[in-house]
Chains A and B, each alone.
Chain A
């Protein structure tokens, strides 16, 4: 269960969300600047809400009333940022291993490397990788953290068509292989349909609808649903 009930102020922009979703993969969908990424950063502990409560699978990450604000490093979340944020001075292997728990096995590493087809990239630094490869390493790095939930911020943004298809296919595989709670930020309907079970549509910092993926998909396919084609 993903429970988000918080208020957050960033300059003039105010974000107020109230949602509880039983979905394993929840998409936060809406146009640029609506508060999707801010929501993700608040869940990750990189933005502090004014008040409210954030919990994932009964694990409370933030609760202003109870005085709970778990440090970012202790939230046990795997975050894939829109700009990947690989460490430029480390190889792909070192990036992948950075967040691995001490008790993680070599097999876990091998499984992720195999799943995301990273074996030929391990010795390269981010500057020697393509956009799609960088995104795959970022996804692998988040997975190897062995997180309680995966946060994906526009994982296919700024990729050319081929790289987009490649990463999307890996994300689909990931959804099949790992029973992992996932929160996906996106403004692309096809991305949401491929990866999410439920969709929270956000506009101007407010939740406007929480709907199942079938409802969202049907509306997205309809030409009469321009509101779903959020401008990025």
Chain B
């Protein structure tokens, strides 16, 4: 199965957009997941609901909100344009859409991972002089590693398959914003595009399956360890 040039470009773009998107959402997701797992605060259910919104909203709505905020005339977009950092209709915009759509999956996976870490170990670290940052990086995060990897795999797959928000926000520009799902959609809509559509479908299935297997392995092994403990 050999991809033609346009399909290869779409595949490479999808990898770039997904990797950058997930990498950018990771620090924010870690912070939010830690807050949800370890802190009680007023409005926590509302905060959690807001974080999950991209998972629940129709992707087109999310894309449209991104367009309103980050488009050329958007509240933030006009400032980015003025600074020469425009993201609308560019691959960076596609990465932002991927980051937003993958974000809730990361938060959910990380929250579960943090909650599964025995809080008493963190207390033990505190008695040994460790502050909050050291406790997080030396105890909480290493013990959440399986959940983190599982979350990254699922988030990557979600970002890789992102379509609705991306096409609404950054359209379908070859080499810039035409990711694999958008290229697939274009091929389906084009007479004679069935072969290419089938090839891209196969690639999408393989990537999703790999991500699913990684996530399952991580969560399964984590579960086995907990059961043994």
Contact = CB atoms under 8 A, between A and B. Distances in A.
A104 to B, nearest CB: 11
A113 B129 CA distance: 21
Given A98-B128, A141-B128, A145-B128, A46 B123 contact: yes
Nearest to A151: B127
Interface string B125-162: 11111110000001100110000000000000000000
Contacts of A76: 129
Contacts of A145: 128-129
A72 B123 contact: yes
Contacts of B124: 79, 81, 85, 87
Contacts of B123: 46, 72, 85
Interface residues of A, number: 23
B121 interface: yes
B120 interface: yes
Contacts of B127: 44-46, 72-73, 75, 77-79, 99
Most chain-A Cβ atoms within 10 A of its Cβ — which of B125, B127, B128? B127
Contacts of A85: 120-121, 123-124
Contacts, number: 51
A87 B120 contact: no
A74 B120 contact: no
A88 B128 CA distance: 16
B128 A46 contact: no
A74 B143 contact: no
Contacts of A141: 128
A88 B129 contact: no
Contact of B125 (A45, A75, A98): A98
A73 B143 contact: no
Contact of B143 (A81, A83, A89, A98): A89
B162 to A, nearest CB: 34
A67 to B, nearest CB: 21
B216 to A, nearest CB: 22
Contacts of B142: 89
Nearest to A89: B142
A24 to B, nearest CB: 21
Contacts of A71: 126
Nearest to B131: A73
A222 to B, nearest CB: 37
Which of B128, B138, B142 has the most C-beta atoms of chain A within 10 angstroms of its own C-beta?
B128
A149 to B, nearest CB: 12
Given A87-B139, A88-B143, A89-B142, A73 B129 contact: yes
Interface in A40-76: 44-46, 71-76
Contacts of B143: 88-89
5 A-B pairs with least C-beta separation: A99-B128, A85-B124, A72-B126, A79-B127, A89-B142
Given A78-B127, A81-B120, A85-B123, 11 more contacts: A45-B127, A72-B126, A76-B129, A79-B127, A81-B124, A87-B121, A87-B139, A88-B121, A99-B127, A101-B129, A141-B128
9 contacts: A45-B126, A46-B123, A46-B127, A73-B129, A81-B120, A85-B120, A87-B125, A88-B143, A98-B130
